[in-house]
Amino acid sequence: MNPENLYTSLYKYYGPQGWWPLTMNSCYNIEKDISGYHKKNPLIKHNSTDRFEIITGAILTQNTSWKNVEICIKNLKNNGIITAEALINGEEENIKAIIKSSGYYNQKYKKLKLVLNYLKDNDLVNNDNNVFIPDRGDLLQIWGIGEETADSILLYGYNKPSFVIDTYTQRITERLIPDAKLKKYKEYKKYFEDNIEKNIVLYNEYHALIVKHSIEVCRKTPLCIECFLKESCSYYG
């Protein structure tokens, strides 16, 4: 397979995913499912609450399942912490208790404050017109922000076509496109960005579809018998 036909196959099979799930959004009249996914509106103009939720989720999801992050997001919302200012100025122990279920909560609290302060200082959180976009290099300079988190913030928070690589992407590429022979994050990123159309909806859906396929069947121990791609997969063949 190649990156283009892999995307086409995944999209045809699973359909649109509608990331990022936005549970706090109250400003835009978009159709969402119960978890906040907006499959009929892949590209929406984010307001500051959306952006706060995406940035927060991108950090909280490091080394934990999305289920745990959902609990934290719900807790933040229930405590009225839906802006960068509310989190930055909130009582430290209270915020840590709210995000505890995501694990490593001391570190994650520190990361959240550093990122939100950087974005706030540069007027990049509450900028509802979405004109300014944080610099990837600046994000990577922030303690605890790696490439995957930076690209998730740029892609899903700021609608910037910056392809996200995660362990799922690496595993699927190794199995379905073994000839690519990629190793480092930047090699994967370049490979995908060089071989698919630079399109924000496509980037958004592609990463979400890779996650979907990895959770459904292409797990660490894959369920190849149930996989619709098995005839095209060198790992299975």
Report the interface residues with ligand SF4, using CB under 6 A.
175-176, 217-218, 222-224, 227, 229-230, 233, 235-236
Please, what is the minimum distance in Å from the beta carbon of residue 158 to ligand SF4? 31
Whole-angstrom distance, CA of residue 32 vs CA of residue 188: 31
Amino acid at 197: E
Work out how close the CB of 220 gets to ligand SF4 at its nearest, in angstroms, rounded to a whole number.
10
∠ CA 75-207-70, nearest 5°, is 10
Q: How far is the CB of 166 from ligand SF4 (least distance, A)?
A: 15
Nearer to ligand SF4, 168 or 191 (CB): 168
Q: Which two tokens stand for residue 212?
A: 């979907």
Report the residue number, 104 or 228, with the smaller CB distance to ligand SF4.
228
Q: Which is nearer to ligand SF4, 165 or 218 (by Cβ)?
A: 218
Shortest distance, position 231 Cβ to ligand SF4, whole Å: 8
Pairwise CA distance, residues 10 & 158, whole Å: 24
Report the sign of the C-alpha dihedral through residues 10, 16, 21, 23, in that order: negative
CB–CB of 223/233 below 8 Å? no
Q: Which is nearer to ligand SF4, 24 or 208 (CB)?
A: 208
